[in-house]
Copies of this chain bind each other. A is one copy, B any other.
């Protein structure tokens, strides 16, 4: 029995990049948080401290900034593909790269003035392995609420079940979504066309319009709407915490509470997660260095 090095990766995490375009008097702004992770033949440094195949993570940071200058930053997905291909093309010992980019939105106040939004974070997770490319995009932290049109009843019960059934409750969640684009050759025209922003709008609209009997049903409706509307997408995964709003019992004070006064709970929370897919979707690439039980 021997002890061996298994899946591994390394990189620079959370490079903060603000890119200003100031070619004219009207500036534009991109505000990103970029992480690079590489895999390849890295046994030398692990086993013997031989760093001849280790491009410093500091160099990855420099590359992000230099590329932001020389190539500009358009769609997150395109910038991620550019970076991923660069590291694989130029470092012979590296054969896989995952670039994770989070983007923060700003509203324009004037020609060179901006106010930071905070309603959600945009996401792109680009993986390139040899000739194969995978583009996952997403949103994080998008909080939505329906104050009615949500029921929950008819559920399974056991001796530990005390939850009352309800035909009218608040349904609130923080949408965390990731969708994978079809294609593996690096040809992804969708990004410049703004598909990722459209997916966000589709998710919001599907949440809004779904009369819900469970958060699972809402999840599926949101995911299905995205796949129906966006042919470029192979599958989508949603993680939806059920942000419980507890109806406060006001009877001790001689008051009714017809769905008006709620305590917004912190913990615990329900957590509903699911993937919805086209049945002809090719399988996904694993992220570099992946190990399922670590997630």
Contacts and interface: CB of A to CB of B under 8 A. Distances in A.
Given A69-B257, A118-B118, A286 B276 contact: no
Give chain A's interface residue range (CB within 8 Å of chain B).
Answer: 35 or more
Contacts of A194: none
Contact of A275 (B6, B149, B272): B6
A194 B165 CA distance: 40
A259 to B, nearest CB: 6
Interface string A79-120: 000000000001101000000000000110110111111111
B146 A180 contact: no
- Please classify the interface of chain A as helix (H, G, I), strand (E, B), loop, or mixed, using the class held by over half of its residues: mixed
Contacts of A35: 268, 271
Contacts of A46: 216-217, 219-220, 274
Given A45-B217, A159-B253, A292-B292, 7 more contacts: A12-B271, A15-B268, A51-B154, A55-B156, A57-B242, A113-B208, A117-B119
11 contacts: A3-B228, A6-B276, A16-B267, A19-B260, A21-B260, A52-B155, A58-B162, A62-B161, A113-B147, A115-B119, A118-B119
